[in-house]
A and B are shown apart, each in its own frame.
Chain A
Amino acid sequence: MIGNWLDIGPVTQIEPGTARTLPVIGGPGAETREIAVFHTMRNEFFALLNRCPHKQGPLSQGIVHGDVVTCPLHNWNISLRSGKALGDDEGCVPTIPLKVDAGRIYLLRSAVIGEGAPAEAA
Chain B
Amino acid sequence: MNAPMNFEKGTPAGQDRERLVVIGNGMAGCRAVEEILARDPERFAVTIFGAEPRVNYNRIMLSPVLAGEKTFEEIVINGQEWYDENGITLVSGDKVESIDREHKRVIAASGRVEPYDRLLIATGSDPFIIPVPGKDLGGVVTFRDLDDVDKMLEAAGKGGPNGEQGRAVVIGGGLLGLEAAHGLSLRGMKVTVIHLMPTLMERQLDEAAGWLLKTELERRGQTVLTGANTKEIVGRDGMVAGVRLEDGTELPADIVVMAVGIRPATVLAREAGVEVERGIMVDDHMVTSDPAILAVGECVQHRGMCYGLVAPLWDMCRALADFVTEAPSGYQGSVTSTKLKVSGIDVFSAGDFSGGEGCEDIVMRDASRGVYKRVIVKESKVIGAVLYGDTADGSWYFDLMKKGEDVSDIREALIFGQAFASGGALADPNAAVAALSDDAEICGCNGVSKATVVKTILAGACSLDAVRGSCKASASCGSCTGLVESLLAVTLGGDVQSGPRTMCKCTSFTHDDVRRLIVEKRLKVIPEVMQELHWTTPDGCASCRPALNYYLLCAWPGEYEDDQKSRFVNERMHANIQKDGTYSVVPRMWGGLTNPRELRAIADVVEKFNAPMVKVTGGQRLDIFGIKKEDLPAVWADLNAAGMVSGHAYGKSLRTVKTCVGSEWCRFGTQDSTGLGVKIERMTWGSWMPHKFKIAVSGCPRNCAEATIKDFGVVCVDSGYELHVGGNGGIKVRATDLLGKVATEEEALEVCAAFIQLYREEAHYLERTAPWIERVGLQYVKDRLAEEGAVQRYAARFRYSQQFMQDDPWARRAAGEHDKLHQHLAEFRPFPGSQMENA
Contacts and interface: CB of A to CB of B under 8 A. Distances in A.
Q: Which of A44, A79, A103 has the most CB of B within 10 A?
A: A103
Interface string B299-335: 0000010000000000000000000000000000000
Nearest to A101: B278
B577 A73 contact: yes
A27 to B, nearest CB: 7
Contacts of B545: 63, 65
Contacts of B500: none
B196 interface: yes
B122 to A, nearest CB: 23
A57 B199 contact: no
Interface in B818-838: 820-821, 823-831, 834, 836, 838
A11 interface: yes
B677 to A, nearest CB: 32
B573 A61 contact: yes
A21 B354 contact: no
Residue from B354, B356, B538, B572 having most chain A Cβ neighbours under 10 A: B356
A10 B227 CA distance: 12
Nearest to A62: B569
5 contacts: A24-B830, A25-B829, A26-B831, A57-B579, A63-B542
Contact of A65 (B540, B564, B829): B540
Contacts of B568: 63, 72
B357 A9 contact: no
Contacts of A6: 828, 836
B398 to A, nearest CB: 20
Interface in B186-203: 196-199, 202-203
Contacts of A82: 357
Given A18-B821, A41-B539, A43-B197, A61 B581 contact: yes
Contact of A58 (B260, B355, B581): B581
Nearest to B227: A12
Interface in A35-80: 37, 41-44, 55-58, 61-68, 70, 72-73, 79
Interface residues of A, number: 50
Interface string A1-32: 00000101111111111101111111100000
A119 interface: no
The interface residues of chain B, by DSSP majority, are classed as loop
B202 A43 contact: yes
A76 B820 CA distance: 24
A102 B278 CA distance: 12
B284 to A, nearest CB: 18
Nearest to B304: A122
B539 A14 contact: no
A73 B579 CA distance: 7
Contacts of B541: 65
A112 interface: yes
A86 B196 CA distance: 32
B128 interface: yes
Given A22-B828, A42-B206, A102-B128, A14 B820 contact: yes
A112 B831 CA distance: 12
A78 B260 CA distance: 33
Nearest to A66: B355
A68 B543 CA distance: 13
B682 interface: no
A13 B820 CA distance: 7
Contacts of A67: 354-357
B820 A61 contact: no
B229 interface: yes
B230 to A, nearest CB: 10
Contacts of B199: 16, 43
Contacts of B304: 122
Contact of A20 (B356, B566, B577, B825): B825
A47 to B, nearest CB: 10
Interface in B547-595: 564-569, 572-573, 577, 579-581
A12 B196 contact: yes
B132 to A, nearest CB: 12
Contacts of B353: 42
B539 A42 contact: yes
A33 to B, nearest CB: 9
A73 to B, nearest CB: 6
A42 B207 contact: yes
A13 B825 CA distance: 8
Contacts of B546: 63
Contacts of B581: 56-58, 61
Contacts of B261: 102
B837 to A, nearest CB: 10
A58 B824 CA distance: 13
A23 B128 contact: no
A28 to B, nearest CB: 10
Contacts of B566: 17, 63
Contacts of A86: 357
Given A21-B824, A56-B581, A64 B354 contact: no
A87 to B, nearest CB: 11
Given A8-B826, A10-B229, 20 more contacts: A8-B836, A14-B825, A15-B820, A16-B199, A18-B572, A18-B821, A20-B823, A20-B825, A22-B824, A26-B829, A41-B198, A41-B207, A43-B197, A55-B579, A58-B577, A63-B542, A65-B539, A86-B357, A102-B128, A102-B261
A57 B581 CA distance: 6
Best-surrounded residue of A20, A27, A62, A81 (most CB of chain B within 10 A): A20
A63 B827 contact: no
A9 B827 CA distance: 12
A113 interface: yes
A119 to B, nearest CB: 16
Contacts of A20: 820, 823-825
Interchain residue pairs A-B with the least CB separation, the first 10: A17-B565, A58-B581, A72-B569, A67-B356, A26-B831, A43-B202, A20-B825, A61-B569, A113-B830, A63-B542
Given A15-B820, A62-B569, A22 B354 contact: no
A9 B838 contact: yes
B589 to A, nearest CB: 26
B385 to A, nearest CB: 15
Given A41-B207, A44-B354, A61-B577, A16 B198 contact: yes
A22 B838 contact: no
Contacts of B825: 8-9, 13-14, 20-22, 37
B357 A79 contact: yes
